[in-house]
Structure 1
């Protein structure tokens, strides 16, 4: 019988699978989707996923055997592997990069180099001299079987021990090997239970109490156990026993507990438990208003003809209630549901609402979860424990096998786009493909749809349902344009706030109402400057100015993380006249505390929400009325629903609008409309104050009128004239190198090669990137606009892959990095 082979997907940036021989002992146990351990290269050991099983040996190399099988069941299903291959092909990356992004870290094995003493090494007759540092390592290895590179560094007090280990290897004193470790570890709980005969006989239990009557600490523990687990009233409860922590948390003696276990009065055992609380949903029916019920029926009607439907519902129209109804129906049919949200911040409020309805059948998946928690959600979807998942963009990779519906909430959001590392995918578009593979339905929801989705709806590719009423008594907010320049001339501008903005905030505070203040820049100020010579502190590694953070008294680069303390004097001229320029959320919060000293002010941005539950804490405080004003970045613009918010302030609308990006107008309309939608929910009347230097700009008046369609038509005529999406497909190729001339030369050479690809296209560039240097790498961009008709994009991508391989093989460009971003904006 000929041997069997497996094509294995490995987490390496190489555009193919690798063929390994399946040992006879594993032939009946392996299949598509199983995790295996394989050797890659001479020393590396990697976790791979089997993508195909067959009988054909590879022609180019001799197949190595699979070293081990990690699971008794596949952790990835064939539909997922199809999805991975589509993503690799569409987003111009490698299948290994997709696998790396798709699998939670906890399901990937780490391969860590270890050293051990060479059994053949003779300390006495060794001909090579051993220095003091090498001797320290050899002495440590005599008492320990193994040391990691990190252990050696700690022993010697050095950052890198590589040179010393290399010397010991050359002297044949040590051997280096790879130790493979399973990263995921289940959560284990230590429990105790009462042993026989004390569970079945009251008399034996009474005798026991007599014996320990002079040992009050043991008696206390036994009484606590019987209080929590009444074994004679409910004997079956003793089987599960009691969490050991219940005893220790009550302050009872640990040594007395150990004595009871030693004397076989109590027995200790371990159980694997879930990291997530068991929650029961409740049957409280969701009541839809007439217009929502009509919208729901229209969605179902559209789904009869179309796979994807766009739900265009104004802010406050109650899209979540419609989602809940649809989710319930799909779950009742036995299928799975995925609800995608753009931000973790959004999950905080919506999840608590959904958990009340769906209880423990709902899983949550986002990047603030630990590796182990994410593995448990993955395993929960595999086992069927979670039939409904709420998550951010990475949730599209979960192992669904019978997906009935995908809902993409706030589908217009830019945070659905992954920028680094590869795959640089758009989660909304990926979700539509995932849905198509499962032959299921996709619902896209937004108050301000992306132009791509609205275009597809108008072209009848998607179904379309419009909700133009707010739920309950809620009215749309009243808009006010506040001219910054006019107030500045009249000396009415105080700490960056116009008189109108200050008055509206004060009115809200007087009425015990709340205000949301939006500024899409964190930190205290965008940058510092010297008033004498104009010096501006810049990042050492990137072409950007450093952002001043007052709280930590430092200047930080938001691209590479570089930071330094604020200088006391200007390094260029020695002047002490250093001042801040512009305003971030930190400065706005400080200004508000000076203007409204009685107000309780919170801040919500990347700096204040780094910890796992920080979002939740801030939103809970605001929702409970413990904060009067919340200052935030784009995190506060969407999906949040607070009864008492009556004022929304947009501090610098021009910063959103005047940005070098063809989508600037679209993004400004979306962000301002979304943040304005937080005002005046329920029956309170809301006000939105937009501070601007150009109140006559037409876009503000279209936002105020809520005329999305008119705005869309104007913008689309521009896009069609200048060939921008959705009329063309775009790709951006960035070349990166530590030397500017090599990066530029590579980019120009690439541009010339791309011109020869026989498809209809426009090539712009190469140009120095908007930020020309990041992390000491110089960047040059080429933008390609491709004709959408026929097969032009697919053909271009295929040819591009070959062009890049050819370039990377050239001596001059071997060290150049090329990144391809499909649908980059």
Structure 2
């Protein structure tokens, strides 16, 4: 068995060791040593969940990272309170993966554990109070005030009370002083009640008692006894109708759901009597929350081009661990994935298919379910805690060998991965920004595969420059698919000049004439349309036409986004919202107007321009519910929606045969963004959304609305000239020191006081300059958004030479510097955030 760092632990030491280093979900840079009680020493092991006390009151779930016989030097080890399972919940490979992630992304392993374990596998603790059994009000030397007396009277009628219960009884907000006083007076005891969050789904079932199921004459005797009890007889007949035990007695073992009787409006009391008399039995059965689905699709037949790609992939993966599959939109990458997944599963390996976000998961899962049925697990954040725990346990037990999921699925307890596929590997949503670990799922997936000695396939129509660079330099294998599957043709591109239409008075509600005519033609032919705008809300902001006032968030340095549906303005950073004023607070004018375009406003404009069209919107606001994506995509896929307006969600992997027109509302917003990746992302997003058009036998049309149609990038997108675009951009990257030629680390300093934040940022920046590695340092500068949630933000950007040990040394020294800064009395409350590969 291995410890946290992959070292082998002697089995005898493990079984007789008295101490365990425990990973606990707190942002502290070390493991804590706890004493193993003698009654647990033979049952405990690496990866087991345990309950431990952290600090004075807090009860936490920990994971055993190492077992040994060395007591801690700096403190007395507290005992492990309890063992939660009789088997390991986390395996040694996962712990190694957590340790790597903590080291590489400059965070703590407890933060990684907190992100990795589903909430349902972590215990919650809740402070409660109870009467002290030894307390006697008559003999107590301590007098009680009125509120203390009321609380003790309430406790006399209850065995325990939560803090919230106390607040309700006393009718005041803060009760900690009263509770502290009663503890000192020895009137009450405070304790932590720990609850397991995960609860399996239990079904109540009914079956015939064994003596009647196996003896026909005995059952006939029961019917004679019930001849004058019609309601009981009716229930028994209903059961035999559902479960024909005469034909097959074995069917009785499973019985039927109790709800069958209640749904048929049969007598509940009569059912209870039959159970009481031993004729029927009631029992509980733990069942899966996921419906059993059988594969329905016939064998996939690959084209010659796809067969050749599969052969190339297999050949190249003999020598390479990672391969880039560069297939244009609609080239049939999914069928290639399915073929490779089937082969890996047939060989006894586990497979992980990683997707950038839930919108794509919804569509892809339906396709894969036809092939793999319920043998495939799905893992994403819209699932409930209990559902996520069931997928976790399914992988742990070996029931699920294939999982499709978003970035959090990297943390599942795989023990024999053979293949990891990262689809749409270029997507920015693979990056986790908040909270720690701030990891890049694509890069982490490659590391996870390496730990398992598995192979990784990165798939994209518009690869990230890092992946394409690694493929061109020979680090990765490379296979290209340059034709669409079957008879499908690439779409026809058109650039629509917004300024020209505006001058000619042809621009209506932000739609150029070309886009309006294309939409009208599609509607006439009963075809579908996708409209892409990289902004949700009705409009970016409200402005006063007289004085120029723009409403801003009270807590962040950003303007509030206008949402017409609820007639409110919202901050998309902290959630602050307020109603739209009727007059300008600055000058009193009533000339308030919406400026800019959001998906909500585009939806309204389309309804005005095409009143006969059925319009839907897909953005964060319309897909908050668990099945929000699914419902919208089903509506669109079934033809009940003519025009779908959306943000980036609609650019990824959707495959609808009736979509013939795609409109990009404002391409300039994507291109002219203060980010060195702006060109790369513009190429990716426009190409991806354009790829949704004409995926069957009819050629699609893509209308790109822009104010600068002469930009070279638009013509490279139209020609599909990814290679020359890459070469051009990479020249700039190399000249100005940007990835993939350097490693970037961003250090953010946050504090509620502007001067403290600035001083701390400058102090740390100066100290980082002394770290002896080759680097370029920029800043510290006020953040692009200078204040979020009342915290002022300063940023330093460090570009580090990729050669040798420079990155590892810089990260190690940086952590020491931050620890020194936090220990300084002036900067104790400053928050320092390190983000590796931030862009």
Q: How does the TM-score come out when normalised to structure 2?
A: 0.96
Select 2:643's aligned residue among 605, 609, 629: 629
SS at match of 2:152: helix
Offset of residue 19 of structure 1: 1.2
Paired with 2:261 and 2:575, the residues of 1 have a C-alpha distance of 45
Aligned pair 1:753/2:760, yes or no?
no
C-alpha distance in structure 2 between counterparts of 1:526 and 1:308, whole Å: 41
Report the 3-state secondary structure (helix = DSSP H, G, I; strand = E; otherwise coil) of the residue aligned with 1:522. Answer: coil
Rounded to whole Å, the distance in 1 between the matches of 2:476 and 2:389 is 35
Select which of 258, 261, 264 maps to 1:244. Answer: 258
In structure 1, the residue matched to 2:202 is 188
For the residues of structure 2 that align with 1:156 and 1:276, how far apart are their CA atoms?
A: 45
Q: Which of 700, 705, 723 does residue 691 from structure 1 map onto?
A: 705
Matching of residue 79 in structure 1 with residue 79 in structure 2: no
1:8 is matched with: 22
Cα distance between partner residues in 2 of 1:430 and 1:347:
19
Match of 2:338 in 1: 324
- C-alpha distance in structure 2 between counterparts of 1:220 and 1:132, whole Å: 61
Asked whether the 8 Å contact 1:11–1:99 carries over to 2, the reply is: yes
Q: CA deviation at 1:690?
A: 0.6
1:30-49 equivalences under 5 Å are 30-49=44-63
Q: Displacement, 1:123?
A: 2.4
Following the alignment from structure 2 to structure 1, what is the Cα–Cα distance between the partners of residues 413 and 210? 44
1:796 aligns with 2:814: no
User: Hey, what's the Cα distance between the residues in 2 that align with 1:200 and 1:780?
Assistant: 77
Task: Evaluate the alpha carbon distance shift between residue 3 and residue 471 of structure 1 in structure 2; reply closer, same or farther with a 3 A threshold.
Answer: closer
| 1:345 maps onto 2:376 in alignment | no
SS at match of 1:51: strand
Residue 515 of structure 2 corresponds to 501
Q: Kindly report which structure 2 residues correspond to 1:284-433, keeping only aligned pairs within 5 A, or say none.
A: 284-433=298-447
Structure 1 pair 84–247 and aligned structure 2 pair: CA distance change class (3 A): same
Deviation readout 1:119-177 (Å, 9 max, x if unpaired) = 33332355555444433322221111111122223334455433433343344332211
Gaps of 5+ in 1: none
- Match among 447, 466, 469 for residue 461 of structure 2: 447
The question of whether the paired residues in 2 share the 8 Å contact of 1:114 and 1:177 is answered with yes
Matched, 1:488 2:502: yes
Contact persistence 1:3–1:21 (CA under 8 A) = no
Q: In the alignment, what sits opposite 1:716? A: 730
Q: 1-side partners of 2:781 and 2:738: how far apart?
A: 18
Q: C-alpha distance in 1, partners of 2:660/2:694?
A: 5
Separation in 2, partners of 1:160, 1:573: 42
User: Counterpart of 2:628?
Assistant: 614
Counterparts of 1:158 and 1:493 in 2: how far apart (Å)? 60
What is the CA distance between 1:278 and its match in structure 2? 1.6
Matched, 1:665 2:683: no
The offset of 1:208, in angstroms, is 3.0
- Provide closer, same or farther for how the CA distance between residues 214 and 338 of structure 1 changes in structure 2, counting only shifts above 3 A: same
Which residue is equivalent to 1:675? 689
Residues 524 and 68 (structure 1), Cα distance of their counterparts in 2 relative to 1, 3 Å cut? same
Q: Please tell me whether the aligned partners of residues 349 and 416 of structure 2 are also in contact (alpha carbons under 8 angstroms).
A: yes
Match for residue 716 of structure 2? 702
Q: Note if 1:228 corresponds to 2:242.
A: yes
Distance 2:328 2:245 in 1: 58
Counterpart contact for 1:532–1:575, Cα < 8 Å: yes
Q: Does 1:92 align with 2:99?
A: no
User: SS at 1:533's partner residue?
Assistant: coil
In 1: Cα distance, 2:356 partner to 2:394 partner: 22
Instruction: Report deviation, 1:12.
Output: 1.0
Q: Which deviates further from its counterpart, 357-366 or 277-286?
A: 277-286
- The equivalent residue for 1:762 is 776
Name the structure 2 match of 1:467: 481
Q: Return 374-383 or 241-250, whichever deviates more.
A: 241-250
Identify unmatched segments of 5+ residues in structure 2. Answer: 1-12
Indicate how the Cα distance of structure 1 residues 134 and 521 shifts in structure 2: closer, same or farther if over 3 A, else same: farther
After superposing the two structures, state which structure 1 stretch, 25-34 or 471-480, moved more.
25-34
The secondary structure found in structure 2 opposite 1:305 is coil
| Equivalent-residue separation in structure 1 for 2:344 and 2:249 (angstroms) | 40
Contact 1:522 1:633 in 2 (8 A): yes
- Aligned: 1:434 with 2:424: no
- Residue of structure 1 in register with 2:80 after alignment: 66
Is the aligned partner of 1:638 residue 2:652? yes
The answer to whether 1:774 aligns with 2:792 is no
User: Cα deviation per residue 1:550-584 (whole Å; 9 max; x = unaligned)?
Assistant: 11111111111111111122222222221111111
- Taking the aligned partners of 2:132 and 2:164, their CA distance within structure 1 comes to 19
Is the alpha carbon distance of 1:158 and 1:609 closer, same or farther for their aligned partners in structure 2, counting shifts above 3 Å? farther
Paired position in structure 1 for 2:593: 579
Which one is further off, 13-22 or 802-811?
A: 13-22
Matched, 1:653 2:662: no
CA RMSD across the alignment = 1.4
CA distance in 1, matches of 2:147, 2:576: 33
Report the Cα offset of residue 409 of structure 1.
Answer: 0.1
Judged with a 3 Å threshold, the aligned counterparts in structure 2 of structure 1 residues 571 and 136 are, in CA distance, closer, same or farther, namely: farther
For 2:239 and 2:172, the matched residues in 1 are separated by: 51
The answer to whether the 8 A contact 1:10-1:49 is kept is yes
Q: 2:821 maps to what in 1?
A: 807
Q: Which stretch shifts more, 155-164 or 17-26? A: 155-164
Residue in structure 2 matched with residue 256 of structure 1 by the alignment: 270
Aligned match of 2:550? 536
Shift of residue 348 of structure 1? 1.2
Deviation at 1:301, TM superposition (A): 1.0
1:406 alignment partner, SS class: strand
Matches of 1:541 and 1:156 in 2, distance apart? 34
For residue 198 of structure 1, give the secondary structure of its aligned residue in structure 2.
helix
SS at match of 2:474: coil
Instruction: Check 1:131–1:573 CA distance in 2 against 1; reply closer, same or farther (3 A cut).
Output: farther
More moved, 61-70 vs 248-257 = 248-257
Contact preservation (8 Å) 1:528, 1:536: yes
Give the whole-Å Cα distance in 2 for the aligned partners of 1:448 and 1:698: 17
1:728 to 727, 742, 751: 742
> 2:283 matched to 1:275?
no
Between Structure 1 and Structure 2, how many residues are aligned?
A: 825
Question: How much has 1:789 moved relative to structure 2?
Answer: 0.5
Tell me how far 1:61 sits from its aligned partner: 1.6
Task: Show CA shifts across 1:247-268 (max 9, x none).
Answer: 2223323233222222322111
Distance in 1 between residues matched to 2:832 and 2:665, nearest whole Å: 39
Q: How does 1:73-222 map to 2 (within 5 A)?
A: 73-126=87-140, 128-222=142-236
The answer on whether the counterparts of 2:17 and 2:68 sit within 8 Å (CA) in structure 1 is no
| Per-residue deviation, 1:196 | 4.3
Q: Distance in 2 between matches of 1:488 and 1:163?
A: 68
Q: Deviations over 1:599-658 (max 9, x none)?
A: 001111111111111111100110000000000110000100000000000111111111
Distance verdict in 2 for CA 1:431–1:553, change over 3 Å: same
Show CA shifts across 1:680-711 (max 9, x none). 00101100001111111111011001000110
Moved more, 154-163 or 312-321: 154-163
Q: Indicate conservation of the 8 Å contact 2:91/2:413, yes or no.
A: yes
TM-aligned CA deviation for residue 202 of structure 1: 3.3
